[in-house]
């Protein structure tokens, strides 16, 4: 997007002022106060900021062609000519608050025209406000719980690692939402609204890229990241060879972000996926109390891959190719009953399972087939269990992302670990070679597969 010619004189005058007064203001730590921001002004190329001078108190207007929206974020008061910066932190707080209010108003009105206009405003804001505020418009991979949580959380970890902070993140709800409660939890980090999809479409149209295409690939660049084929190198790339509009688009479905070879999610400053509020803790405590567990009683979650879930999932077209990964949930019962003898309850997790758990032990709960199963409890129980036992399904990403120990059992083939986590152990399934009429060693499995 080119700067309009009418702003050239103003920018030139501000540059002279900045040079003239820089010596006098080099120790000035004050910032201009933001009094108002006009979203509509972005579309009409009118003044978008109402500022107050910290020196003389004078109020004045500024558009996005001024020095305040340059890389230096410096401008001059039109009355006393004092030079100060525009605080990025203050601007982001003000902008985000107003954006949330406008999105809520547009959604409540149900006016398609108003939502389209707001989508255009968001798209233009992502472009013209780039020196002052980084905005990403994100498309979730929400079809399956493993990809939904892993791709989103690892994207956040990489962005935080690259930038040192999280930029303003906008997203639209996934078309096939596998867990609406998880989507609600993401609202702690993202502004999520159908209006954002209109901004995504607008940016896609301006950049010449159709929505959900594959311009972000394993070797691709976009505004914040450059990622090599093995995800080994991440760097800031503000001059990426993409249209300026496309730098703000992130579609997690087109680039699988679920690889963490360097253990970013284990770093102390990595962003946590979500935080449960007191209402969620209270609701879970009441449910656990109904199962005979007090607040501090330990419990372990089990889940076994079987034929039911993917067989009924319309999006999975390669289900028969994955049957070798299935396990019989009954093989977990001895472990569940042993844990019961140690004073720990067990919950069999899952959704649309092939068969129930058969046991008389009162400490073993077949949560998957109970009428109590909910999207909330799927996430909460998996996030707070003593440890999690799995045969390799999407839900086991939840304990990993929440730093809960994970035991992967009955893993049929060696696959390089997608997520580097010191709290994860793997027990491989025995592979029998019919030709040799013998079980293969781990070394043989690694070499062959």
pLDDT, one tens digit per residue, over 7-33 is 455 555 555 544 544 444 444 557 889
Question: pLDDT tier at 74 (50, 70, 90 boundaries)?
Answer: confident
Find the domain containing 300 and state its range: 278-448
Same domain for 73 and 144: no
Q: Please, are residues 57 and 77 in contact by the beta-carbon 8 Å criterion?
A: no
Same domain for 259 and 136: yes
Residue 152 in domain: yes
Question: pLDDT tier at 210 (50, 70, 90 boundaries)?
Answer: very low
- Quote the pTM value: 0.81
Residue 334 in domain: yes
Q: Region 133-151: what's the mean pLDDT?
A: 88
DSSP class of residue 364 equals E
- How much of the chain, in percent, has pLDDT values that exceed 70? 76
Radius of gyration, alpha carbons of the chain: 27
- How much of the chain, in percent, has pLDDT values that exceed 90? 36
The token pair at 181 is 């409660």
What pLDDT digit, counting tens, does each position of 437-448 carry?
A: 999 888 887 777
Crossing angle of helices 194-207/112-128, nearest 10°? 60
Question: Which range, 23-32, 247-256, 282-291, 349-358, has the best average confidence (pLDDT)?
Answer: 282-291
Same domain for 102 and 78: no
Residue 215: pLDDT above 60?
Answer: no
Residue 234: pLDDT above 80?
Answer: no
Same domain for 109 and 25: no
Residue 262: pLDDT above 90?
Answer: no
- What are the backbone dihedrals phi and psi of residue 437, each rounded to the nearest 5 degrees, phi first? 55, 50
The overall average pLDDT reported for the chain is 79
For residues 66 and 8, give the distance between their C-alpha atoms in angstroms, rounded to a whole number: 9
Q: Which of 35, 58, 86 is at the close of a domain?
A: 86
Q: Region 142-168: what's the mean pLDDT?
A: 85
Same domain for 77 and 96: no
Q: Which of 266, 295, 310 is at the close of a domain?
A: 266
Same domain for 218 and 135: yes
Same domain for 312 and 180: no
Same domain for 415 and 381: yes
Residue 385 in domain: yes
Residue 26 in domain: yes
- What are the backbone dihedrals phi and psi of residue 195, each rounded to the nearest 5 degrees, phi first? -60, -35
Residue 272 in domain: no
| pLDDT for 394 | 85
Residue 347 in domain: yes
Question: pLDDT tier at 332 (50, 70, 90 boundaries)?
Answer: very high
Number of domains in the chain: 3
Q: Please, are residues 174 and 94 in contact by the beta-carbon 8 Å criterion?
A: no
Same domain for 98 and 79: no
Same domain for 356 and 308: yes
Same domain for 148 and 64: no
| pLDDT for 326 | 82
Residue 177 in domain: yes
Q: Region 329-341: what's the mean pLDDT?
A: 94
Q: Which of 42, 69, 86 is at the close of a domain?
A: 86
Same domain for 256 and 336: no
Residue 337 in domain: yes
Q: Region 268-278: what's the mean pLDDT?
A: 82
Residue 77: pLDDT above 60?
Answer: yes
| pLDDT for 305 | 85
The sign of the torsion formed by the CA atoms of 306, 402, 157, 261 equals negative
- For residue 100, give the 3-state DSSP assignment: helix
Minimal CA–CA distance to 187: which of 277, 112, 78, 122? 277
Containing 196, the helix (H) or strand (E) segment is helix 194-207
Residue 198: pLDDT above 90?
Answer: yes
């Amino acid at each position: 997007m080119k700067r309009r010619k009418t702003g050239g004189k103003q920018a030139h005058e501000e540059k002279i002022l900045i040079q003239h007064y820089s010596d006098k203001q080099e120790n000035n730590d004050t910032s201009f106060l933001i009094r108002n921001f006009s979203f509509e002004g972005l579309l009409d190329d009118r003044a978008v900021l109402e500022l107050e001078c910290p020196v003389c108190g004078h109020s004045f207007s500024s558009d996005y062609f001024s020095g305040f929206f340059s890389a230096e974020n410096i401008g001059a008061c039109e009355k006393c000519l004092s030079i100060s910066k525009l605080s990025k932190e203050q601007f982001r707080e003000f902008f985000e608050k107003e954006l949330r209010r406008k999105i809520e108003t547009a959604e409540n009105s149900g006016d398609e025209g108003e939502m389209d206009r707001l989508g255009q405003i968001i798209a233009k804001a992502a472009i013209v406000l780039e020196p002052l505020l980084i905005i990403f418009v994100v498309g979730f991979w929400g079809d399956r719980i493993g990809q939904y949580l892993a791709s989103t959380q690892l994207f956040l970890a990489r962005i935080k690692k690259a930038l040192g902070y999280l930029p303003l993140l906008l997203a639209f709800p996934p078309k096939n939402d596998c867990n609406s409660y998880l989507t609600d939890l993401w609202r702690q980090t993202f502004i999520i609204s159908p209006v954002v999809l209109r901004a995504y479409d607008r940016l896609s149209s301006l950049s010449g890229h159709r929505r959900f295409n594959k311009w972000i690939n394993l070797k691709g660049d976009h505004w914040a990241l450059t990622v090599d084929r093995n995800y080994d190198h991440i760097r800031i790339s503000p001059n990426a060879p993409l249209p300026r509009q496309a730098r703000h688009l992130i579609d997690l479905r087109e680039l699988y972000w679920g690889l963490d070879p360097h253990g970013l999610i284990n770093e102390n400053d990595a962003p946590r996926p979500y935080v449960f509020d007191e209402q969620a803790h209270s609701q879970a405590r009441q449910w656990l109390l109904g199962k005979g567990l007090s607040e501090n009683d330990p419990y372990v979650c089990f889940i076994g891959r079987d034929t039911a879930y993917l067989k009924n999932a319309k999006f999975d077209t390669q289900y028969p190719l994955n049957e070798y990964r299935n396990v019989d949930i009954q093989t977990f019962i001895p472990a569940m009953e042993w844990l019961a003898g140690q004073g720990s309850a067990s919950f069999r997790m899952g959704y649309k399972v092939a068969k129930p758990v058969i046991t008389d032990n009162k400490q073993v709960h077949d949560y998957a087939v109970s009428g109590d199963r909910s999207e909330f409890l799927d996430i909460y129980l998996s996030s707070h269990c003593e440890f999690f036992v799995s045969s390799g399904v999407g839900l086991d990403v939840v304990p990993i992302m929440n730093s809960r120990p994970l035991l992967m059992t009955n893993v049929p083939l060696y696959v390089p670990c997608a997520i580097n986590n010191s709290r994860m152990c793997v027990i491989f399934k025995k592979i029998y070679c019919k030709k040799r009429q013998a079980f293969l060693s781990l070394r043989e499995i690694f070499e062959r597969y």
